[in-house]
Structure 1
Amino acid sequence: MYPKRIPKHLIFDPQPKRKSKAWIWWLIGIAITAVISVFSVDALATPYNDNHAGELKLTSESGLKLPSLHLETTVKTDINGLVVTTEYIQRFKNDSDKWVEGVYVFPLPDMAAVRHMEMRVGERRIIGEIKERHKAETLYKKARAEGKRAAITTQQRDNLFTQKVANIAPHQEIEVRLSFIDTATYQAGVFEWRLPTTLTPRYIPGISQPPEDESESTTNALTTNAFGWASATDQVPDAPFITPAMTPPPEYGLKNPLRLTVSLQSGMELASIEGLYHDVDVNKINDRYNITFQHDVVEMDRDVVLQWTPVVSAQPRAAVFQQQLEGDTYAMVMMVPPNASVVHALPKDIIFVIDTSGSMQGNSIIQAKSSLLLAIKQLSPDDRFNVIAFNDHFSVFNDRTVPASDELKHIATQWVSALDADGGTEMYPALQEAYNQLADPERLQQVVFITDGAIGNEEILFELITAPGHNARLFTVGIGSAPNAFFMAKAAQLGRGSYELIGYRDDVRGKMSSLFNKLNHVAATNITIDWPEDVEPYPSQSADLFHSEALLAFAKLSAPLQHLPISGNTAQQAWQTTITANDAASTSGIGSLWARYKVAEIEDQARRGNIPQQDVRDAVLDVALTHSLLTRFTAFIAVDETPVRPQYLPLFGEGVTNVMPHGSAQQRMQFANTATSATLSMWLGIWGCVALFILHINRIRVK
């Protein structure tokens, strides 16, 4: 019998149908759309915009940009010996026809004691009050909603602060003045004072967290917590507060101008005064030196660093400053230990950790590689070394420390020279690897960490440094024109080492030579200060001092200090000296500095596990509220009680942009791989499902 139907494979079709390849084009289209969307999301994270630094760019309902200018920052500084008193003036002017609120994130010296704030509107002067932070923020939100002029100053990090100014009337100027006390450093016969003016954008690792719900009593009030380009993560919950918008430096003119006047009374004959990164004019009047910028105003795109050097015969060995305040005496003591030459440098195991993340692009990676190459060159044959480079991941020159032979040093030099800067800043795994490789207690163990410190999760790194078993000394080298000096100094302190800051390539040789002098020997150990009875000193235990470093200590006493015995050990012998304080000049601000160092000690004790974290807040508040000190638990709040903004008018606001550090390359903001946004994840999932569906349909058609 013949089949009722001819088999399909026997049928001859003179015009066979071609298999459709439309599904391939669908997949290509979806892939292109996905790539474009990913780059669009990434572009939203970039800190660059066309806003002028120092300007508030306000957007109306119609999308029209409304400029509101932050005029300038003026710094007036008085230096008396080691004590630096600064008045920091920020002027906000609203050039629009709208009511605005300004939010400005800015850096200050990491050990600055901010002790006063006031707001000025025309002839009106409103003195700020120090309060617990959450209470101050509640008062600020209430005043903002009620249309009252208000200003609040808060601290995000030891060296990073936020200034908010609410209800600036159209075409009105409001001035906020901060006063803080700081100290100059003294090392290798040179005094130095550093003022940061901008910041390097910080890498924010971790998993994104939902924003906090900040309910307001009126719809006309503006929530200003989220002016940062990064969202909160599990590792950096305050990311929106430490990631202000950034803008490239201008081709012409100034975007964020800074004016500086310094009055210096050193108390000794000086051989030189210079600005490291700015040209300055110096005029001497009697025993004071007046210092200004040569060009009157400069861009806020790098640290301001002043150095003054006494003549050799006037270089101090010790100095005492005291202040009488409410029946107590506050003392500050500076002393240089006896010189101790290096008889023989001990063999050491040393690991260099170099940051090759995106924030190091430009001059920073050049300075970092130059520093590392010079360090490798200076290793002795008895040393062992390794190099770890990190960005999103870390790579090692070798899987263990190797002898510092000429051949291996040459190979390491080639390896370092090939490094490029790109990607995120995942410090933790790289530093953990360095500690893991240093496990020989019979040899001197050291880690040299070369980075700009542009991270938001500093505390996690501090926990790693102070972890049990991490006994290697940590030395940090801060790179760039605006490094995170707080991280550099604190990491070195917790790691029982020291630090250097390199702002320009010309600094590399001198700074690395100084670093190797420190690596090769500790100048003074077991330092003991024989304070009188009934005294509260900070730091409570003096750290070891390295080559050319000076001892700095503060104390609260019941009576003025007369003399102070200090003893310790050098590599060759024990030493002892007595400082006479009878002729110590009375200096204001010592009490505030003592309080600032006490707060730092409380925080450090908690990092080392000696104080429960839940007790830190109360301990810090007790000091800060007594001494009117700005901390992460306190804030300055100033409110003009007269309402000025009509309730029916809305309030507009935007963050004031910072200028990118001088010499840094433009880059997209780098997030951790785990910090993918929920929206992006959702769309990637949808695209994946669509692609799988098309493949499934095509497979059915083929079958």
Structure 2
Amino acid sequence: MAEPALMRSEDGTTVPLVEVVGTARADGLLLQTTLRQRYVNRSGRNVEAAYTFPLPHLAVLLALEFTLGERRLAGKVFGRKTAERAYENAIDDGDSAVLLERTGDGLYTVSVGNLMAGEEATVEIRYGELLSFAQGQVRIAIPTTVAPRHGSAAAAGVAAHAVPDADLGVSYPARFSVEIAGALSEGAVSCPSHPAQLQRTAESVVVSLDGHLDRDFVVVVDGLAGRPMSTLARDGDGWVALASFLPALGHAIDAPLTLKVLVDCSGSMAGDSIAQARSAVARLVEQLAPEDRISVSAFGSRVVHAESGLRRASAAHRAACLGWADALQADLGGTEIEGALVSLFEHGGVEGRDADVLMITDGETWAGDAIVARARAQDQRVFIVAVGASPAESLLSHLAQATGGSAEFVTPNESIEAALLRLFARLRQPRANEVTVRWPAPVDWQAPLPGTLFAGETLHALARFAARPDGEVTLAWRDDASRSQAVRLARERVVARPDTDAPRADALPRVAAGLTVATLPEPQRGAFAERYQLVTADTSMVLVLERNAAERAAALPQSVKVKQMVAAGWGGVGSVARTGAPLAADSTMRFSRRNDVCRNMYSLPADLDLPPQHAVETGFSDYVYPIDTTGREEATRRLAEHVNRSWRDHARLPDAIADVARLLPNTWVFGLQDASHRDGVDGAMLLAWLLVELTGDSGPDPFDRAALREARRLARKVPEDVASMLRLVLAT
């Protein structure tokens, strides 16, 4: 591929990421994908590049490797704070380092620190996931970009350097290929997301393309019969078993459906997505029987319920729903899914309480955990049609599964009708409960089972054993009757033997462990994650490349956030419908890059808004301080907002205690003012010390990482006796 021209983001920053190459191979239902990110520093000084990227729902990171010149290093997992300290110490010492962190559900951030001027490096990340049959289809998706999201990333626990800001000024070339081996290769293979090349051999099918990081790379295999299967793999001195069931449920339910349809009409849905939503509602209404019940609602920053309400799908009501859908526009503000679901769960009165919800959305919001928790508390299943070129797959899959529903992901070039037919087949199936798995031997640990079953769709069961298990694994459940399905554990076909495929021998055990770790008691999670080298909320992966003294950086690196390409078709920016082609050259001119509405709605910092407080005079200066009602957590949050904004706008830390006094408890301010009178100590040092002290030993750091790095440099100048006195002040 030709070397890209020097690329800059909207603010003029030179972008160090120049290309991503992805390769994947599906063996049976285990898919392993490798992403190679190539960085080139053309800025003239040492830099730190921070890049947040998405992974598929339930994917498990398996490896991190870093290549710089002739040197190649592998990452290792430690506790989160331990990994951060190792990374920061390397940066302070002038060495190079790479840190890989879990940023949120389905999001990860890689930081490449001290890439010197003119250097080129490659970061290679490998992950594994289990594929599933779903009504004769297997879908493979490699997400590539994070679309702008509504709400506060900081409130979701995302550190400032990891917030995935979008930028219309960047464009990243990408090459992808997926090899489909074995029985899956016998199906009809297509790529609805891109114009792609397909090469078929006797043993596999390879789908490949050259494109950009502006939409998910999707490969679909249709026409598959599917069957139950099992796999065994070594795990040290034990074994891990995978039993993949394909259950057959009872007969379809004859009872009428009660369905509440909720359509996302937020600004991000403009263009391809709102057109898909209109089509989805129209096709859905056509599938209804007269005795079914339906209501239609739209949401953005508010919820709008159609006046016709929840009623039988008579010809008149269907016509009203179709007319309502045809008038939908992406004009209701931000993606407030939580409030919309709360309203919808109550919609329809008594009849609506037993309804299923069908939501059509791109899911672009930061409030994922709150949404899932709220929905899980209701006894209404949520089925989702996810539209657009880069929907929030992890959130939407999690939401559907947590409520006993399911999600269908539909690119602008796929059939909405086919997706709805699959959803309707699930809606009309009897509900399965009391789902259990019986193993033929005692287990050391096992991955949790999903909360629901659907006919003809894969359910994976995974467990570890101290000795090799032998016999049948049985899946049992109850729908309209007690049912079961058994699969015999593999005797001869043992995958990933260490002597034949050493680098990937641990893929299945570690995928199983990755799906299990979050269900363990909290005290056990860290050690379990380190044992299986898993990147979790409690652990990170790090590597350090030690340099010769002459090669070390003499100054701290310039921190550069690798901005996201705007997802194709997002918010009306271009279109990928019908053609599957990359964005047209002028398609990014649909709205101004300086659009204030977009900046305010999607994760761009707002001015600090402090609540009104009464004042009290102090004896230290003429400054008027607020009455002290501020706790440590709230003070840290306020100070972080102020510091992060100052660093972002001016690349400097606050240096006067009076400038931040209104954000802090009075006792802190008095202590800092008192300490500032000591010889050799000034306000800048003390405020830097305070930032470092408030970062704590657990949880994400609230302060900008580059700002914190500078704060550590200044904080080292504070005498230990002063620091000890201030710690006592902070503890009061």
- TM-score relative to the length of structure 2: 0.73
Give the structure 1 partner of residue 271 of structure 2: 362
Q: 1:257 aligns with which of 148, 173, 178?
A: 173
Give the structure 1 partner of residue 296 of structure 2: 387
Q: Give the conservation status (yes or no) of the 8 Å contact 1:386–1:397.
A: yes
1:408-450 Cα deviation digits (max 9, x unpaired): 2211222222221131111122100111236648985211121
How far the C-alpha of 1:359 sits from its partner, in A, is 1.0
Secondary structure of the 1:382 match is: coil
Give the structure 2 partner of residue 658 of structure 1: 564
How far the C-alpha of 1:384 sits from its partner, in A, is 2.2
User: How far apart are the structure 1 equivalents of 2:5 and 2:274?
Assistant: 25
Q: Does 1:198 align with 2:145?
A: yes
1:225-247 Cα deviation digits (max 9, x unpaired): xxxxx6x3xx4342635542323
Q: 1:126 aligns with which of 36, 50, 73?
A: 73
Structure 2: which amino acid aligns with 1:638?
A: L
- Specify whether residues 650 and 533 from structure 1 end up closer, same or farther in structure 2 by C-alpha distance, changes over 3 A only: closer
How far the C-alpha of 1:567 sits from its partner, in A, is 4.7
Q: Give the conservation status (yes or no) of the 8 Å contact 2:250–2:430.
A: no
Q: Does 1:152 align with 2:99?
A: yes
| Greater alpha carbon shift after TM alignment, 523-532 vs 112-121 | 523-532
How far the C-alpha of 1:671 sits from its partner, in A, is 4.6
Q: Give the conservation status (yes or no) of the 8 Å contact 1:358–1:421.
A: yes
User: How far apart are the structure 2 equivalents of 1:79 and 1:302?
Assistant: 21
Give the structure 1 partner of residue 165 of structure 2: 245
Q: Does 1:471 align with 2:391?
A: no
1:154-173 Cα deviation digits (max 9, x unpaired): 11123111111111111110
Secondary structure of the 1:450 match is: strand
Structure 1: which amino acid aligns with 2:113?
A: A
Secondary structure of the 2:330 match is: coil
Structure 1: which amino acid aligns with 2:517?
A: V
Structure 2: which amino acid aligns with 1:654?
A: V
- Specify whether residues 96 and 54 from structure 1 end up closer, same or farther in structure 2 by C-alpha distance, changes over 3 A only: closer
User: How far apart are the structure 1 equivalents of 2:150 and 2:467?
Assistant: 48
How far the C-alpha of 1:678 sits from its partner, in A, is 3.6
Give the structure 2 partner of residue 560 of structure 1: 468
- Specify whether residues 385 and 600 from structure 1 end up closer, same or farther in structure 2 by C-alpha distance, changes over 3 A only: farther
Q: Give the conservation status (yes or no) of the 8 Å contact 1:129–1:637.
A: yes
Secondary structure of the 2:282 match is: helix
Q: 2:88 aligns with which of 137, 141, 147?
A: 141
Give the structure 1 partner of residue 530 of structure 2: 625
Give the structure 2 partner of residue 605 of structure 1: none
Give the structure 2 partner of residue 482 of structure 1: 390
1:515-551 Cα deviation digits (max 9, x unpaired): 1111111375443322123115644445332243221
Q: Give the conservation status (yes or no) of the 8 Å contact 2:8–2:169.
A: no
Q: Give the conservation status (yes or no) of the 8 Å contact 1:58–1:653.
A: no
- Specify whether residues 197 and 169 from structure 1 end up closer, same or farther in structure 2 by C-alpha distance, changes over 3 A only: same
- Specify whether residues 455 and 673 from structure 1 end up closer, same or farther in structure 2 by C-alpha distance, changes over 3 A only: closer
User: How far apart are the structure 2 equivalents of 1:547 and 1:364?
Assistant: 29
Q: 1:82 aligns with which of 19, 29, 34?
A: 29
Structure 2: which amino acid aligns with 1:301?
A: D
Q: 1:114 aligns with which of 61, 70, 80?
A: 61
Give the structure 1 partner of residue 509 of structure 2: 591
Q: 2:356 aligns with which of 421, 437, 446?
A: 446
- Specify whether residues 680 and 622 from structure 1 end up closer, same or farther in structure 2 by C-alpha distance, changes over 3 A only: closer
Structure 1: unaligned runs, 5 residues or longer: 1-51, 60-64, 206-229, 603-614, 683-703
- Specify whether residues 398 and 576 from structure 1 end up closer, same or farther in structure 2 by C-alpha distance, changes over 3 A only: same
Give the structure 2 partner of residue 175 of structure 1: 122
- Specify whether residues 550 and 132 from structure 1 end up closer, same or farther in structure 2 by C-alpha distance, changes over 3 A only: same
Q: Give the conservation status (yes or no) of the 8 Å contact 2:21–2:37.
A: yes
Structure 1: which amino acid aligns with 2:528?
A: V
Secondary structure of the 1:67 match is: coil
Secondary structure of the 1:658 match is: coil
1:559-585 Cα deviation digits (max 9, x unpaired): 333332435457665433331222443
Q: Give the conservation status (yes or no) of the 8 Å contact 1:130–1:625.
A: yes
Q: Give the conservation status (yes or no) of the 8 Å contact 1:149–1:644.
A: no
Q: 1:302 aligns with which of 192, 195, 215?
A: 215
User: How far apart are the structure 2 equivalents of 1:434 and 1:568?
Assistant: 34
Q: Does 1:669 align with 2:598?
A: yes
Secondary structure of the 1:487 match is: helix
How far the C-alpha of 1:676 sits from its partner, in A, is 8.8
Secondary structure of the 2:546 match is: strand
Structure 2: unaligned runs, 5 residues or longer: 497-504, 574-590, 592-596, 612-732
Q: Give the conservation status (yes or no) of the 8 Å contact 1:272–1:310.
A: yes
User: How far apart are the structure 2 equivalents of 1:659 and 1:674?
Assistant: 15
Give the structure 2 partner of residue 282 of structure 1: 198
Q: Does 1:516 align with 2:424?
A: yes
- Specify whether residues 249 and 536 from structure 1 end up closer, same or farther in structure 2 by C-alpha distance, changes over 3 A only: farther
- Specify whether residues 640 and 542 from structure 1 end up closer, same or farther in structure 2 by C-alpha distance, changes over 3 A only: closer
- Specify whether residues 54 and 499 from structure 1 end up closer, same or farther in structure 2 by C-alpha distance, changes over 3 A only: farther
How far the C-alpha of 1:338 sits from its partner, in A, is 2.6
Give the structure 2 partner of residue 208 of structure 1: none
Secondary structure of the 2:366 match is: coil
Pairwise CA RMSD:
3.0
User: How far apart are the structure 2 equivalents of 1:323 and 1:381?
Assistant: 52
Structure 2: which amino acid aligns with 1:585?
A: V
User: How far apart are the structure 1 equivalents of 2:605 and 2:111?
Assistant: 30
How far the C-alpha of 1:270 sits from its partner, in A, is 0.4
User: How far apart are the structure 1 equivalents of 2:358 and 2:336?
Assistant: 16
Q: Give the conservation status (yes or no) of the 8 Å contact 2:10–2:168.
A: no
Q: Does 1:432 align with 2:432?
A: no
Give the structure 1 partner of residue 18 of structure 2: 71
Structure 2: which amino acid aligns with 1:381?
A: P
How far the C-alpha of 1:598 sits from its partner, in A, is 0.5
| Greater alpha carbon shift after TM alignment, 449-458 vs 369-378 | 369-378
Structure 2: which amino acid aligns with 1:551?
A: L
User: How far apart are the structure 2 equivalents of 1:93 and 1:200?
Assistant: 24
User: How far apart are the structure 2 equivalents of 1:487 and 1:549?
Assistant: 21
Structure with bigger RCO (C-alpha 8 Å, 6+ apart) = 1
Q: Give the conservation status (yes or no) of the 8 Å contact 2:46–2:553.
A: no
Give the structure 1 partner of residue 132 of structure 2: 185
| Greater alpha carbon shift after TM alignment, 325-334 vs 561-570 | 561-570
Give the structure 1 partner of residue 315 of structure 2: 406
- Specify whether residues 243 and 369 from structure 1 end up closer, same or farther in structure 2 by C-alpha distance, changes over 3 A only: farther
Q: 1:544 aligns with which of 448, 452, 456?
A: 452
Q: Give the conservation status (yes or no) of the 8 Å contact 1:203–1:671.
A: no
How many pairs does the alignment contain? Answer: 573
1:365-387 Cα deviation digits (max 9, x unpaired): 11112112222332222222222
User: How far apart are the structure 2 equivalents of 1:362 and 1:102?
Assistant: 32
Give the structure 2 partner of residue 15 of structure 1: none
User: How far apart are the structure 2 equivalents of 1:244 and 1:54?
Assistant: 21
Give the structure 2 partner of residue 498 of structure 1: 406
- Specify whether residues 553 and 54 from structure 1 end up closer, same or farther in structure 2 by C-alpha distance, changes over 3 A only: farther
Structure 2: which amino acid aligns with 1:300?
A: L
| Greater alpha carbon shift after TM alignment, 282-291 vs 412-421 | 282-291
- Specify whether residues 370 and 242 from structure 1 end up closer, same or farther in structure 2 by C-alpha distance, changes over 3 A only: farther
User: How far apart are the structure 2 equivalents of 1:577 and 1:132?
Assistant: 40
Give the structure 1 partner of residue 661 of structure 2: none
